[in-house]
Structure 1
Amino acid sequence: MSTGVRNVFVVGLNDFNRERLETLRGAGAYRFHGIIAPEAVYDTEVFDIAAMLEEATRALEAFDGGVDAIVGYMDFPVSTMLPILCERFGTRSTSLESLLKCEHKYWSRKVQKEVIPDHIPAFTAFDPFDDDALTRIGEAGLYFPFFVKPIKSSGSRLGFRIDTPEDFYHAIERLREDIGLIADPFNTVLEHARLPDEIAAVDGHFCMAEEIIGGWQCTVEGYVFEGDVVSYGIVDSLRYPQVLSFFHYRYPSGLPDTIQDKMRELTDRVMRHIGFDDSAFNIEYFWDEVQDRIWLLEINTRISQSHCDLFEKVDGVSNQQVTIDLALGQRPDMPHRQGDYAVAAKFFHRVFFVDAVVTRVPSDEEVAALEADFPGTVIALQVTPGQRLSTLPEQDSYSYALAYIWMGAESPERLLENYDRLIARLVFEFDEIEG
């Protein structure tokens, strides 16, 4: 291994991530460089994949030095560009085909069905531009209620629970209007891959219909290093009562040990079968406590940025450590329970409006005072005065996130108490509210 400084290129590198990266183990021997501006992949819904790949390629070719690693922490479009760039420059990554077996939702379900059929819902692909789509879904054996989502989505966008034909046609209207924002650039990625004919016929403009699954939701964070699958942490995803919107992510998980062990076993089985390698991933699961059944919801081909601070608070280092180590060909050096807190969470402070205009957000001074009064807390406001909530990118279909709040505590109970006290002082105001 080279003893010199190693150049790590981060797609969409922003100041927030740079600060975290500089604290990783071994970071003194790395030099972090951004490629593709963060605003091109974060605060937009328009992704010109071909142009971004060309821009990144030019920047890397022009770099005066070695390209030792190319990484990213974002879902689409970053995750899907990484294998293409890494192959071009000979750096470590999983193959594009193995990545698409995770990210192309139909292909992913087909592959999962081959090895863990009892842990996935009934599913079928359909064309939202087909006027007979609802009939075809019924012919495939799916009946109300079911869930629909694009073949490739980002976050919870364009995901809908369907209880009636009216629900379906409302969802179809939204999907027809907006699906191209992800489908067109995703199809650009598919052109780079060798796809089976059955999968090539189901492009980014298609959707999935799936049997409703539910229960206690969590995420297994893991990686594969030279074929060895390692699950190093499980994070709970807790929702607001009666709605689909997330309330907070909590680490470590409160699930029974036997359930966590079973999820790790399923993770090992499916990731080996996919052929995923030398990269980080996370898998979202449900545990249906009534049926005592584990469901695999979806596979993501990256660490979760939302979890970085949680691992830092509880284990002592952000799980970005995993991404950097793997990209440099090293087995990840993640500590365990060496952080300052026994439990940590990322909270989503939301409003459940159809729309509104923000008239007031907490000032910098108010945010700083709250962070001082609750040590370890990080508050990231997501809105600005005068902003219409419907202009926020990457929201779910039911609410708007006003702020992300990371906190640590000595117990889950104290964590919630502290959050309630903080929120009472974090004041937003609105006008033109549509309920």
Structure 2
Amino acid sequence: MTKNVFVPGLTELQRGEIETVDIAGGLRLHSLLDYDALISAEEFDFEELLDRARAQLRAFDGPVDAIIAHWDFPTSVIAPILAAEWGLPSPSLESVLRSEHKLWSRVLQRESVPECVPEFRAFDPFDPAALDGIDLPFPFWVKPVKAHSSQLGFEVHDAEEFAAATATIRAEIGRIADPFDQVLARVQVPAEVQMAGGRTCLAEQIVTGTQAAPEGSMADGRYRVHGVFDMRKDATGHSFAHLDYPARTVPESVQQRMIEVSERYLRHVGYDNGCFNSEFMWDEDTGKLWLIEVNTRISQSHSDLFVKVDGTSNHAVAIDVALGREPEMPYRQGEFAVAAQCMVPHFRDGIVTRVPTAEEITALQRTFPRTVVRIEVEPGQRLSELHNQDPYRYKLATLYLGAADHAALERCYQDCLEALPFEFEEVD
């Protein structure tokens, strides 16, 4: 029987990736709410979004068989709430929030995998004396307990930079923090985590090394990993430039340590019937392994790379788990030996005056078959006003590339950068 699968904020790119999945009996995809409401809105009213999603599901003429979420907050917590109300397999809301909330997650990491946890301190960014209570040496990171990607995350080197970073955080934190507080009110938050609610921030020790990310699932208590990715940063060391699959920059033994640490943590927080991807930093000189974060979903950044290398999107695992089935994933049955998601970055503010044309993208794809180009900006937009950008670069486009080996992959990336012209009007 055909299964009705609801995907909050479903995009055409995701639809294409999910259509690579072969599910017995077939599946029918439905978008739950839309991208603008869940991702790019100026503000979020969580309860209002939840009520709209409920109304859409109730109005559906047929069975609701699965709900899967691939976006960050608020999608990440809408899905488990709705799944619980419709009696569908899903992680509990509390187990998701234990990882979504960066302070709560660090506290639980310290309990379960203490050897991998950087030093951290919580603080209230609205407290003028906040720095006095942070006994970490400069430099360190500051970040909200909840934000999109690396948004509002800053590396600070002295008191002046700390003041500037917290001023920016104070001005912008409410967009996510306020609806996040609406969700936190649904669960019992430990006293050591409550602080200033969603407006709490973390100061964290800076760790360095080679970054990699296992992705997998926990279904009916059985833990599985279906891929490990390299996460390569740009020359500044602040922002990601590449996600490469399969991972090759860390030894197999280190990958296994990452996999084992992820399982210990997920079992400790009570996470089950869901997918995850976790991010680690490995210091080759000391052998130290650091846990950066655990995300409670597959990474859609990985999806096309799985298609290119393994032959099917990781949505296959997410759908299986959401349907209560044993997850299955093919291995190395794709068209390419290696694949990468690469960013087209820009490092200065400006107003976009030109983006690559459809003809230019088509010409690039004739040269590099199966390349996916996702333009992230439009003419007339000011880069500094874009949502969900990290503080150190602006993302103009995302490329998904495949090749026979890593050298060919790098050549493809450089050729794509030259073939995709963007133009800007400079601003003061």
Q: TM-score, normalised by structure 1?
A: 0.96
Structure 1 runs of 4+ aligned residues shifted over 2 Å read 42-45, 194-202
Residue equivalent to 2:31: 34
The aligned residue for residue 157 of structure 1 is 151
Map Cα deviations across residues 37-60 of structure 1 (whole Å, 9 max, x no partner).
121122234222111100011111
Structure 2 counterpart of 1:93, which letter? S
- Aligned pair partner of 1:62 in 40, 59, 63: 59
**In 2, distance between residues paired with 1:22 and 1:31?**
10
- Quote the offset at 1:196 in angstroms: 2.6
Deviation per CA, 1:326-353, whole angstroms, max 9, x where unpaired?
A: 0000111111111111110011010110
CA contact 2:124–2:195 (8 Å) conserved in 1: no
* Counterpart for residue 325 of structure 1: 320
Identify the residue that residue 257 of structure 2 maps to in structure 1.
Answer: 262
Inter-partner Cα distance in structure 2 for 1:125 and 1:241: 30
Q: Is 2:296 the partner of 1:291?
A: no
Q: Structure 2: 5+ residue runs without aligned partners?
A: none
Question: How many Å separate the matches in 1 of 2:25 and 2:406?
Answer: 35
**RMSD (CA atoms):** 1.2
The equivalent position to 2:14 in structure 1, one of 4, 12, 17, is 17
Secondary structure of 2:244's counterpart equals strand
Aligned equivalent of 1:5: 2
Mapped partners of 1:320, 1:42: distance in 2:
20
Deviation at 1:362, TM superposition (A): 1.1
Structure 2 SS opposite 1:125? strand
1:396 Cα offset (Å): 0.6
Residue 298 of structure 1 aligns to which amino acid in structure 2?
E
Q: For this pair of structures, how many residues does the alignment match? A: 427
Identical pairs, percent: 46
Residue deviations 1:19-75 (CA, integer Å, cap 9, x gap)? 222220217521111111121122234222111100011111122221111111101
Describe the SS at the equivalent of 2:95.
helix
- Residue type matched to 1:109 in 2? R
Moved more, 158-167 or 241-250: 241-250
- Contact 1:409 1:415 survives alignment (8 Å): yes
1:348 to 2:327 alignment: no
Rounded to whole Å, the distance in 1 between the matches of 2:24 and 2:42 is: 32
Take 2:134 and 2:45, find their aligned partners in 1: how far apart are those partners? 32
2:129 matches 1:135: no
What SS does the corresponding residue of 2:165 show, helix, strand or coil?
Answer: helix
Deviations 1:280-319 (A, max 9, x none): 0111100111111110001111111111011111111110
Q: Give SS of 2:198's match.
A: coil
TM-superposed deviation, 1:146? 1.0
* Other-structure match for 2:230: 236
Give deviations 1:112-155, integer Å, cap 9, x for gaps: 111211111011111000111000112xxx12111111011111
Greater alpha carbon shift after TM alignment, 405-414 vs 29-38 = 29-38
Q: Specify the alignment match of 2:303 in structure 1.
A: 308
Gaps of 5+ in 1: none
Report the equivalent of 1:282: 277
Pairing 1:113-128 to 2, within 5 Å after superposition: 113-128=110-125
In the alignment, which of 392, 395, 407 is matched to residue 398 of structure 1? Answer: 392
Cα deviation, residue 246, structure 1: 1.2
Query: In the TM superposition, what are the counterparts of 1:334-345 in structure 2 within 5 Å?
Result: 334-345=329-340
**Distance in structure 2 (CA, Å) of the matches to 1:383 and 1:8:** 30
Q: Is the 8 A contact 2:4 2:63 kept in 1?
A: yes
Distance in 1 between residues matched to 2:333 and 2:49, nearest whole Å:
39
- Counterparts in 2 of 1:162-201, with a 5 A limit? 162-201=156-195
